[in-house]
A = this chain, B = another copy of it.
C-alpha cells in the first residue's frame, strides 16, 4: 500500500511557496534571499553542510522503496534559459547518492512524442518508489513555450492546465511528493550569463542563437509562467518561486526545500520481514562454499 505523499513544510517551504491567487512575477525580487541571513560565502558553506543529513534521509527513502512504501519525491525544475537548472543538478542533486536519483531532461519533443498526448512522455519518467526524481524542464513546457509559440491550438493549451492538475493529483495519491520550483531570474541577469557563455570557450557549447530570439518574447513567457503558476498551484502540488539571480542562494534554497520535505516524511528504516537470528545462524552453520 502506498503511503500518502507528504507536503513540504518548514521555514523555507513556507517562505517560497506561492500564496495562491493571481501571480505577479514582477513583484518577486529575483535577487532576493528569503530565509537566508548570511552572505555568499556562508551560503556556499551551508549547502554542503546539509549533505550528510540529506544523504541519510535519502537512503531511508530508498530503503522504503524495497518494502511496500510507494513514497518518492519529484522535483520539477522550470525557468528561463540560464536560470540554473543544470547548476541545481550539479550542486544540489550532486549531494545525493546517485543510485537513488533519477534525473530526466526533457528536450523538444520527438515526432513520436508529438504523436501522443503531451503527458505520454512525462508519465514514463515518473520516479519509481524510493527515488528522488528530478525533471529538468517538464510537462510545463507544454503550457509555456507551447502557449508563447502557439505550438498547439488555444483550446488544447487551455485543456492542459486541468490535465496537469489531474495528473499531479494522481501522482500524489500514489505517494509522490511533488516540489515544483520556478527558478526566477531577471532579464538583465540572463543577458549577463549569456554574455559570459560567449566569452568562455568551455561554455560556448551551451549557447544557442535561439536563446537571444526567445529573449524578445520575455514578457510573453512571464505571462505564460504567471498563468501556469496560478492555475496549477494545488494543495498536493504547490509551486515554489526560487529567486535565482544569486546562484548560491538558488542552490541552497532548493537543498533546503528537499531537506524540509525529507524531514517531514518521518522516514524510519524498514523492519526486516525475516527472522534476523535465524538467518544469522544459517550463515554461521553453513559449509563454506568452495
Contacts and interface: CB of A to CB of B under 8 A. Distances in A.
Interface of A: 59, 63, 66-67, 86, 89-90, 93-94, 96-99, 101, 103, 105, 136, 187-188, 191, 194-195, 198-199, 201-202, 204-209, 212, 215-219, 269-270, 272, 274, 276, 279-280, 282-284, 286, 288-290
A269 B205 contact: yes
A97 B96 CA distance: 11
A209 B90 contact: no
Nearest to A60: B202
B97 A219 contact: no
A189 to B, nearest CB: 11
Contacts of A98: 89-90, 93-94, 96, 98, 101, 103
Contact of A289 (B86, B105, B187): B187
Contacts of A97: 89-90, 94
A212 B279 contact: yes
Given A191-B283, A289-B219, A274 B90 contact: no
Contact of A286 (B66, B101, B136, B215): B215
A105 B198 CA distance: 39
A116 B280 CA distance: 39
A101 B99 CA distance: 10
B195 A283 contact: yes
Given A93-B98, A98-B89, A207-B274, A269 B202 contact: yes
A247 to B, nearest CB: 15
Contacts of A274: 207-209
Nearest to A215: B289
Contact of A99 (B90, B96, B202, B282): B90
Contacts of A195: 280, 283-284
A89 B94 contact: no
A286 B136 CA distance: 28
Contacts of A219: 289-290
Contacts of A283: 191, 194-195, 198, 212
A283 B216 CA distance: 11
26 contacts: A63-B206, A89-B98, A90-B97, A94-B98, A98-B98, A98-B101, A98-B103, A99-B105, A101-B103, A187-B288, A187-B289, A191-B286, A195-B280, A198-B280, A199-B280, A201-B269, A202-B269, A204-B272, A205-B269, A207-B279, A208-B274, A209-B274, A212-B279, A212-B286, A217-B289, A218-B290
